[in-house]
Structure 1
């Protein structure tokens, strides 16, 4: 008897619908039906009554469901115990997360001192693919809300800052409105490179009825800061954590008013979801618990 078959059965029992169960498991519906039928043959009992309109548990199915949940929980504990001997945690990250990474790693080490950290800097899509392939243990992302096959755990919210030349008219102000900046060239990454940031700014502009003057798409953060610092008629937008890492004296980072925010998340593979993943998400929140 395979754990996979038990997992499929528990999912169908939760949903009482083969289609929804298949969607949750990210597999084709026939594969779910085949595994349930195989499990019933192995056990010699009918677990589910199926009709065109509904699916329900039989009396035997109710008994097996309780045992299946216990078996899967025990298997999860075995997997967790095995992973406790693993000393390396691979974290997918990106620019502008230094302070959050330091706080999060310190918080994790307070709970489990014996592990090493390997940070892997990748574009967001590459980070998510590396998680799917098992090349990362978790990833920090901005603006990711749901991903097939992965568990997205909301962890923080960052305010967006306008970054302008120190010679820009708004540079000395405590905050900047979009109306004050819309006539200058807005430098953003191409949408395919940072859809979360691009969309957050686009939505804010649309809601205020503004149409910003488009500038050339940005490249690396370092190049963007140099270019904006040299052109007082341009501006860019960065999340607060990333803006805090700017060391150039040629630019100013100013909070946008009214505030525009972007969500940050810890992402793990679905089979790793649980208390351990929630603990990791808590470590990277603004106030780790």
Structure 2
């Protein structure tokens, strides 16, 4: 049984006229008549009572009409699924998120093989602008951020560690407090949200701020050669550098930073957004 025959039959049933049905289908009338007759032969029943002046549905025809409409609607849903593009997710990223990105992307690809993931490395301010322009679907940003017009969803937390030169005496400790480092100059990150998170975490601790750090590697290299300075950085960032000249020490009391998912309101399909959030959340 062909979908074409069902479609022609439905059209005739709606018009109750072979000529008008043929015009709606943009084909010749004999083709419509042939397909309807073939459908009746396949089903073994008459679907239409027709004479030179009228066309009427039989009782069987009315039942088949309902089923035919349902079948054609189901076929169109199948075609729509095929026409739909894969869920392309353009993710804005920044330095220091390698491990989380690798884990999150592995989860997404395993659970949602239809996803096509595109990573775009941009400073936070440019990520926000790209989201507003529709050039990104979401961004992963650490620290507090104000982004009117965007959804900001807290997704994970991670500890901040004190980074000191291995030549500094505190490097031998298992942990330090901010007060232990009061005689050193703090190299705060230049990334705005991370800078704000670090300075907010320090509060009124009296830490001495030096010039802002540049890239992730800059403070690591500089602190490694200058035991008079230190940095407050996510622990994963320090581990990613592989430097043997600095030591990453947990803080007492602990200081953490929040990682956020930014996305335009109602832009990313809901199922895509839920899957991405779950992929980048903290592992229980």
TM-score greater than 0.5 by the shorter chain:
yes
The reply to whether residue 260 of structure 1 matches residue 258 of structure 2 is no
CA contact (8 A) 1:177 1:256 kept: yes
- Residues 281 and 83 of structure 1, relative CA distance in 2, 3 Å threshold: farther
Give 2:283's aligned residue: 287
CA drift of 1:239 comes to: 1.2
Give 1:205's aligned residue: 202
Q: How many residues align?
A: 205
RMSD (CA atoms): 2.4
Could you report, residue by residue, the CA deviation over 1:38-94 in whole angstroms, capped at 9, with x for unpaired residues?
A: xxxxxxxxxxxxxxxxxxxxxxxxxxxxxxxxxxxxxxxxxx969951364211000
Residue 160 of structure 1 aligns to a residue whose secondary structure is strand
Aligned counterparts of 2:118 and 2:138: Cα–Cα separation in 1: 11
The reply to whether residue 218 of structure 1 matches residue 213 of structure 2 is yes
- Residues 219 and 146 of structure 1, relative CA distance in 2, 3 Å threshold: closer
Give 2:20's aligned residue: none
Aligned counterparts of 1:133 and 1:250: Cα–Cα separation in 2: 42
Give 1:143's aligned residue: 143
- Residues 145 and 202 of structure 1, relative CA distance in 2, 3 Å threshold: closer
Q: How is 1:35-46 mapped onto 2 (pairs within 5 angstroms)?
A: none
CA contact (8 A) 2:144 2:197 kept: no
Aligned counterparts of 1:216 and 1:143: Cα–Cα separation in 2: 20
Give 1:10's aligned residue: none
Give 2:28's aligned residue: none
CA contact (8 A) 2:153 2:261 kept: yes
Could you report, residue by residue, the CA deviation over 1:3-40 in whole angstroms, capped at 9, with x for unpaired residues?
A: xxxxxxxxxxxxxxxxxxxxxxxxxxxxxxxxxxxxxx
CA drift of 1:216 comes to: 2.1
Give 1:29's aligned residue: none
CA contact (8 A) 2:188 2:198 kept: no
Give 1:196's aligned residue: 193
Aligned counterparts of 1:280 and 1:237: Cα–Cα separation in 2: 28
**Which of the two has higher C-alpha Rg?**
2
CA drift of 1:279 comes to: 2.1
CA contact (8 A) 1:184 1:235 kept: yes
- Residues 203 and 87 of structure 1, relative CA distance in 2, 3 Å threshold: closer
Unaligned runs of 5+ in 2: 1-79
Residue 140 of structure 2 aligns to a residue whose secondary structure is strand
CA contact (8 A) 2:165 2:224 kept: yes
- Residues 277 and 84 of structure 1, relative CA distance in 2, 3 Å threshold: farther
Residue 170 of structure 1 aligns to a residue whose secondary structure is helix
Give 2:107's aligned residue: 107
Aligned counterparts of 1:144 and 1:84: Cα–Cα separation in 2: 36
Q: How is 1:64-79 mapped onto 2 (pairs within 5 angstroms)?
A: none
CA contact (8 A) 1:266 1:280 kept: no
Aligned counterparts of 2:260 and 2:210: Cα–Cα separation in 1: 29
Q: How is 1:26-105 mapped onto 2 (pairs within 5 angstroms)?
A: 85-86=85-86, 88-105=88-105
Residue 199 of structure 2 aligns to a residue whose secondary structure is helix
CA drift of 1:119 comes to: 1.3
